[in-house]
Amino acid sequence: MPSVLTIAVAQPPTAVGDVAANARAHAAAVAAAAARLVAFPELSLTGYDLSAAALDPADARLAPLVAACRRAGATALAGAPVQDAEGREHIATLAIDGRGARIAYRKRWLGGEEAARFVPGERDAALELEDGWRIALGVCRDTGTPEHVEAVAALRPDLYVAGLVHHPHELDEQERRGRTIAARIAAPVALASAAGPAGPSYPAGAGRSAVWAAGGRRLARAGAEPGALARAVLPHPPRRRGPADRG
């Protein structure tokens, strides 16, 4: 029988533009979470600064986070700007474990000024953990886009995870999206939301990262403060769906 999944949503303090400091903060969160999967906010490794340099997944500054994942037997889902082989830049989710980091998903639905620099991703994606859990991925505006939610539902994942950056006045919308997606895809949802100063246009993030059960009942929620996290144990075994990226 496949194991249950312990998921944590973390909102470490953000040092805007300081990848090394943010990687260390992520590593501390992984150590504290005691979870198989730890999700972080949008652009968590740089802060929500649309001028931040693209991050190579092989960057040595990520070494403390890789080491923390190795020690914990965890996979971290962290946000960063990245560049593809053609030189196009994306807002991405990196999957980081004890072997290193790789791009797991590129944000498909860009918002605000993001489109002036970044290119939308071309496909929705599911990451399959070694123990069989299939995780569909999203980033911030994706979660409020019906086309994305329908595409995720078609992937039939065991869990949906997205990193966010929201203003405090957007907390009600953040909660609504979590409940709505969980009901639509009939699977748990985890949203990791930045807390405290997150970038030039986010002097305060909403925080309140949370996990919802399939159907929309909230299982756990963090506070509004930087450094908080929430943790939930998902008891249902994964339902294998076919090929997916492995992590």
What SS3 state is found at 102?
A: strand
- Per-residue pLDDT reduced to its tens digit, 124-150: 989 999 888 999 999 999 999 999 999
- Per-residue pLDDT reduced to its tens digit, 198-233: 999 999 999 999 999 999 999 999 999 999 999 999
Question: pTM of the entire structure?
Answer: 0.94
* Residue 215 forms part of a structural domain: yes
Total domains, the chain: 1
pLDDT in the model for residue 39: 98
Other CB atoms within 10 A of residue 132 CB: 15
pLDDT in the model for residue 112: 87
The answer, yes or no, to whether residue 104 has pLDDT greater than 80, is yes
Query: What is the residue-averaged pLDDT of the chain?
Result: 94
- Per-residue pLDDT reduced to its tens digit, 70-84: 999 999 999 999 999
Look at the block and give the residue holding tokens 């030039």: 200
Radius of gyration of the chain (CA): 16
pLDDT in the model for residue 131: 82
Look at the block and give the residue holding tokens 């450094």: 227
Q: How far apart are CA 82 and CA 57, in angstroms?
A: 8
Crossing angle (nearest 10°) for helices 146-155 and 171-185: 40
pLDDT in the model for residue 242: 45
The answer, yes or no, to whether residue 194 has pLDDT greater than 80, is yes
* Residue 247 forms part of a structural domain: no
* Residue 245 forms part of a structural domain: no
* Residue 98 forms part of a structural domain: yes
pLDDT in the model for residue 241: 53
* Residue 196 forms part of a structural domain: yes
* Residue 243 forms part of a structural domain: no
* Residue 244 forms part of a structural domain: no
Whichever domain contains 223, its CATH number is 3.60.110.10
**Which range of residues forms the domain containing residue 62?**
5-238
* Residue 21 forms part of a structural domain: yes
